[in-house]
Amino acid sequence: MSLPVIVLPVGTDDVALDACLAALDAGTPAGTPVWLADDAQAGPRGQAVIQRWLAATPLQAEYSRRAQPVGAVAHLDQVLAACGEADVLVLAPDAVPTPGWANRLAACGRQDAAIATATPWCNAGQTASWPRLGEVFPLPADLDALAQAAARLAPTLPELPAAVDHAVWINGRARQRAGGLDMATFDSWYAALIDLSLRLAGLGWRNVLCETAFVGRSGEGGPAEGELERLATRWPAWQARIATFLMHDPLHPLRANLTAALAASNSDTPQRALFD
């Protein structure tokens, strides 16, 4: 299966970027197209990390850097627009992808023509968080084992309130029909992705969890100042929907399935010891 372009917006944290690129090499098939898009964010050390990686990576990588920043959302919208109707995988610059993540995420996205976004599990993934909903956990000790455990699950593709910004597969045709990202209202990818997800849902598309894939993250994404209020103004039902999701926790059985699959593959290591 051919994989979509992986879009990686470059941030200012060169240590996180270095770890992300190393994990990307280790967990992604050789020759996969990758676009490192730098909105004039990487400093000298970050640029050195990128150049060193470009010289050695087995991936089909391109790097672009703006002379002056235009803002995270405006820059990402330009990158996505350049991809046209092609599907893309957008990865946070501090994410830690696991082996097979891209194949399984793309497979989930292509399983149903109505899917607009597919989000994998994450230790800091808010509504897609594992092992508990809405909590931030350290990176699991054995990401490879966790990836293998997730891969053994049957994808049921449950609905999420919105895609989450650690990693997301985006249907290019759906994104174009929704009008792209709202760069005039939102400054963070976190809030712009929620807004895009809600517009897509309003057009009849689905935002789903891909429970067969896991992408780690060093911390949780978040909105810029005032963006939660802007989301609430534009989408009055949003806060109630999130509250209902958190209260009823519809993904609890699926998280339990992943925990059980991991325990079965690593039965000599109690799961609680990994996180508590």
DSSP conformation letters of 14-82: HHHHHHHHHHHHHHS-TT-EEEEEESS---HHHHHHHHHHHHH-SSEEEEEE-SS---HHHHHHHHHHH
Count of structural domains within the chain: 1
Domain membership of residue 276 (yes or no) is no
Cis peptide before 9 (omega within 30 of 0): no
Prediction pTM value: 0.94
Q: Which domain holds residue 231?
A: 5-267
Domain membership of residue 273 (yes or no) is no
Domain membership of residue 272 (yes or no) is no
Domain membership of residue 274 (yes or no) is no
- Which has the closest alpha carbon to 168: 77, 235, 249, 87? 87
**pLDDT tens sequence across 143-198:** 999 999 999 999 999 999 999 999 999 999 999 999 999 999 999 999 999 999 99
Domain membership of residue 239 (yes or no) is yes
Band of residue 1 on the pLDDT scale cut at 50, 70, 90: low
Distance CA 153, CA 210 (A): 10
Distance CA 249, CA 237 (A): 18
Task: Identify whether the C-beta of residue 110 lies closer than 8 Å to the C-beta of residue 26.
Answer: no
Task: Identify whether the C-beta of residue 29 lies closer than 8 Å to the C-beta of residue 102.
Answer: yes
187 CB contacts (<8 Å, ≥6 apart)? Answer: 71, 72, 73, 224, 227
- CATH of residue 72's domain is 3.90.550.10
Distance CA 125, CA 274 (A): 17
Q: What is the pLDDT of residue 271?
A: 44
pLDDT over 90, % of the chain: 93
Domain membership of residue 107 (yes or no) is yes
Domain membership of residue 26 (yes or no) is yes
Distance CA 79, CA 74 (A): 9
Mean pLDDT of 81-96: 97
**pLDDT tens sequence across 8-64:** 999 999 999 999 999 999 999 999 999 999 999 999 999 999 999 999 999 999 999
